[in-house]
Amino acid sequence: MRVKTLALATCLSLALPAFAQTDSAALRDAALEDDIAWDITEGLTTEVGPRLAGTEAEARARAWAVRKLAALGFSNVRNEPFRMKTWVRGEETLEVLAPFPQPLRLTALGNSGATAAKGLEAEIVYFPTLAALQAAPDGSLKGKIAFVSHSMTRTQDGSQYGAFGAVRRSGPATASRKGAAAILIRSVGTDHHRNPHAGGTNFPAGVAAIPAAALSLPDAEQLERILKRGQPVKVRLTLTPRQIGTTESGNVIADVPGSDPAAGMVVVACHLDSWDLGTGAFDDGAGCGIVAAAAKRIMDAGRPRRTIRVLWAGAEEVGVFGGKAYFEAHKGEKHALAAESDFGADRIWRVDFKLPDSARAVGDRVAAALASLGISRGQQPASGGADVSDLIASGVAGIDLQQDGTRYFDLHHTPDDTLDKIDPAQLRQNVAAWTAMLAEVANAPEAIGPAQ
């Protein structure tokens, strides 16, 4: 009996890849009617809401995620905790005291230092770009508040974020080194709602953490107009965030077991945490819905050759701590390929690959399966999302399913990042694309070894 069972299992495992490849079009087309991704995104944003890393809300999100993934039928569902330093928001106000008194809207950047409870009164020094701030003489900003603007615009691929995001990532530390008492930046975004954009900043060892905040774009432009009147501008800034010490975050992981462990696993990732101004629907509840819905469709179609691992990473927004923790815990396992959904929920328009020569045909089949969804093949190598970046850097193959980012930075890290911004039809197109990709990759007979 055991011999017959093993023989049958061997035959089934050998047959599954060819079946899934042949059937990838049917699985893709069926996914265009998917409601699982929406159900996950709606449930997470409604039943948990904002999920700032290291807080009680993120802990509730992990508990919710474990229950949800188990209920969907995934195997080995677990929470893998790790510890991290945690920052939380406090009071946030800005008032122009002179020459034209009025309030302006802003939000503290993650890891911002704090003012006194009564606030900080100081004069504004304006810099139109980060480069202008960097060129300021050392000590020239003592007792002043730096204000840095920029000119980020919309692009389909979101490529300007890398350049203009530096205003947020390194601008505060630069201002601190110049002696500034605090820094304000124009939000790294492209909307013109009166919503500031949150996001993390960093103060290297030895650099004082000064109060740092982002103005909404309309308010940044208002402050620029006030400054252009040529009179000294004095403001009162109140920011009272706190570092609350070391708390727990964690990654939620679930598997679709494969029939051939030697073939390696395929990791599909998103991040479970969010900033605390909105409910984290675009960034990145939708991504978690997309990758889980696609993995479930492959699971329900039969056992794939390769294990599919769903990684809902924790603490991405504040330092990619979940992705780093996953890599340290699992780098000894055989990973064939990694991919991440973390750029909203609008339609996928391009696919990029980083595959070894042995898997060239896999990329060809994926590109062919995606063509009917209006997805073209790109010429750039896949880089993976933040939470799989260490895997990709270690040589694991990658595929990027590039979402349309034209309006992503209207919503990114803002109070507007809510469920109503998600278009269900575009969300389904994402699931269909991920399903087609997984059907090919998880069942491919070719070796998918280290990418070149």
To which residue do tokens 């009917």 refer?
A: 372
**What pLDDT, on the 0 to 100 scale, is given for residue 269?**
98
Tokens standing for 258?
Answer: 């494969």
Q: Which two tokens stand for residue 113?
A: 């230092």
Q: What's the mean pLDDT in 316-330?
A: 98
Q: Residue 429: pLDDT above 70?
A: yes
d(CA 257, CA 259): 7
Question: Can you give the pTM of this predicted structure?
Answer: 0.94
Q: Give yes or no for residue 1 having a pLDDT over 60.
A: no
Q: What is the mean pLDDT of residues 62-71?
A: 98
Edge-to-edge strand ranges of the sheet holding 348-354? 75-88, 242-256, 308-313, 265-271, 335-340, 397-403, 348-354, 376-381
The structure tokens 């598997």 sit at: 255
Q: How many CB atoms lie within 10 A of CB 420?
A: 9
Domain architecture of the chain: domains with CATH: 17-81+248-443 (3.40.630.10), 92-240 (3.50.30.30)
CB atoms inside a 10 Å sphere around CB 411: 25
pLDDT in tens, 228-257: 999 999 999 999 999 999 999 999 999 999
pLDDT above 90: percentage of residues in the chain: 94
Structure tokens at 366: 């994926």
Q: Assess contact for 252 and 78: CB atoms under 8 A.
A: yes
**Continuous H helices in 88-136:** 130-135
Mean of the per-residue pLDDT values of the chain: 94
The band of 222, judged by pLDDT with boundaries at 50, 70 and 90, is very high
Judge whether 374 and 346 are in contact, CB under 8 Å. Answer: no
Q: What is the pLDDT of residue 276?
A: 97
Q: List, as one string, the DSSP characters of 223-247.
A: HHHHHHT-S--EEEEEE--EEEEEE
φ, ψ (nearest 5 deg) of residue 29: -65, -35
Residues 164, 384: Cα–Cα separation, whole Å: 20
Q: Other CB atoms closer than 10 Å to residue 412's CB: what's the count?
A: 26
Are 339 and 294 a contacting pair, CB within 8 Å? no
State the Cα angle at 284 between 283 and 288, rounded to 5°. Answer: 165
- What's the mean pLDDT in 198-209? 97
Across the chain, which distance is largest between two alpha carbons, in Å? Answer: 91
Q: Using a pLDDT cut of 70, give the percent of the chain over it.
A: 95
At 72, list the tokens: 């969907």
> β-strands 92-98, 102-104: how paired?
antiparallel
Find the mean pLDDT for residues 343-349. 98
The pLDDT tens digits for 71-86 are: 999 999 999 999 999 9
How much is the pLDDT for 452?
54
d(CA 145, CA 288): 39
Tell me: the pLDDT tens digits for 437-447? 999 999 999 99
Closest CA to 387 of 252, 295, 243, 280: 252
Residue 23 confidence (pLDDT): 85
DSSP state of 420: G
| Alpha carbons 204 and 229: distance in angstroms, whole number | 36
pLDDT above 80: residue 3: no
**How many Cβ atoms sit within 10 Å of the Cβ of residue 362?**
26
Whether the per-residue pLDDT at 9 is higher than 90: the answer is no
Give the burial class of 225: count Cβ atoms within 10 A of its Cβ; 0-12 exposed, 13-18 middle, 19 or more buried.
exposed
User: Helices in 136-285 by DSSP H: which ranges?
Assistant: 160-164, 166-169, 171-177, 217-228
Structure tokens that stand for 184 in this block: 């304000």
Residue 448 predicted with pLDDT over 50: yes
Residue 125 has pLDDT above 80, yes or no: yes
Residues 6+ apart with CB under 8 A from 452: 355, 356, 357
Q: 270-322 pLDDT, tens per residue?
A: 999 999 999 999 999 999 999 999 999 999 999 999 999 999 999 999 999 99
